[in-house]
Amino acid sequence: MSPSVSPRFFSEKEVARHCTKESCWVLLGTRVYDVTGFLRMHPGGEALILRRSGTDIGREMDGPPHRHSENARRWMEQYYIGELDRDSAKDRQTLRERRKTPEHTQEEELSAASRCSKVNPETDLVDWEKPLAWQVGHLGEKYDTWVHQPVDRPIRLFQNPMMEASTKTSWYMVPMVWMPLVFYLSWYCYTILAQEKTRVFLTTEYSFLVHKYTLPFFFLLGMFLWSFIEYCIHRFLFHMRPPAHNYYLITLHFLLHGQHHKSPFDGSRLVFPPGLASPVIGGFYLLTRQMFPEGLGLSLFVGGLCGYVLYDMIHYYLHYGSPQKGSYMYGLKAYHVKHHFEHQTSGFGITTTFWDYPFNTLIPEETFEKSQ
């Protein structure tokens, strides 16, 4: 809603009626938000919001169990639709008591609203009506702050339709393209190892045979090695901080990963297009073939390729899935959302947080002081 447009006013009863998946409204003070489109994306699950529909969520925003970041509050402003009509509510205090939230003064509510104002496309640093790829490089020192203020809207990178289409892909294309290759290469590795001719030489005189029954071990080892590669790519390449004066490195960063942080729920850009991933995967294939005997190198490669497919699928699920509360994926989703909205310089693990421990990039647990 544009600041120049007078807000709509809704009665308390009208807000309370919107309590379903088809239409879910919440309050923050007297501000009314239609969060229907966000239900599926919420890291805590849609049920968590539905249970609080039609009520003031101020206490939940401040925590515990989770204190929402400034980016999360700014993100919420995209769903602002109007104000609660105080005059039409028979008993505003009843609502506060039901939610057990402290009474907020009008000044506090206005302060919160101004602190978490909506990103306005008309006053933003880029022209959202034009492709962004060639604009972001001009942001200079403002780029890092801008790219880490996420918005809920699609991004157009290129004017050319073919170039734009090459940057998008549906999630199911990744397993459709790569899993047949995983199955074929797994069978091929087994046939090579079954010939009992694959040996690893530790010295010129000592070697050991790689048996066919070791295929599952090297396959899993390849998946484990991929998790390390995944961490390194995400941390050192995707989260490199381009120099403010370098137009081309800023543009490259935005195309590689910055656009994902700017629009984290753009479903068409959550997995790597197979065409763009092919040269990188081909490079890893040639590397393993050069470093190890064919049967061994191929076993590691196919395990790594399977790990990559799982990575892309998990990444998509972390953005659009609704895992069961208390499950591994539930914790992983919350962890990844924190990386997007608050801890962009930590939490680089996607499929696992394992590598964040030894490299000291683990997102810290939130702590809350107990009330006296």
- Written as six digits, the tokens of 108 are 């506090």
SS3 113: helix
Cα within 13 Å of Cα(60), Cβ side: 14
Q: Measured between alpha carbons, how far is residue 234 from residues 172, 211, 258 in Å?
A: 22, 35, 11
| Residues sharing a CB contact under 8 Å with residue 193, sequence separation 6 or more, in sequence order | 210, 211, 212, 214, 215, 295, 299
Nearest of 287, 286, 280, 275 to residue 308 by alpha carbon:
280
Using the CB atoms, write b or e for 326-340: b if 16+ within 10 Å: eeeebebbbbbbbbb
Nearest of 4, 308, 40, 80 to residue 174 by alpha carbon:
308
Place of tokens 């990178």: 157
Binding-site positions for Zn(2+)? 234, 239, 257, 260-261, 315, 319, 336, 339-340
How does DSSP assign 295-363, residue by residue?
Answer: HHHHHHHHHHHHHHHHHHHHHHHHHH--PPTTSHHHHHHHHHHHHHHT-TTS---SS-SGGGTTTT-PP
Alpha-carbon Rg for the chain, nearest whole angstrom, is 25
* Long-range contacts from 103-109, C-beta under 8 angstroms, 24+ separation: 104/29, 104/58, 108/29, 109/29, 109/30, 109/31
Binding-site positions? 42, 68, 234, 239, 257, 260-261, 315, 319, 336, 339-340
- Written as six digits, the tokens of 303 are 């395990």
Q: Please check whether residue 249 is in contact with residue 258, taking contact to mean a CB–CB distance below 8 angstroms.
A: no
Largest CA-CA distance found in the chain, in angstroms, rounded: 91
Q: How far is CA 330 from the centre of its chain?
A: 13
SS3 369: coil
- Written as six digits, the tokens of 350 are 């996607």
Binding-site positions for heme? 42, 68
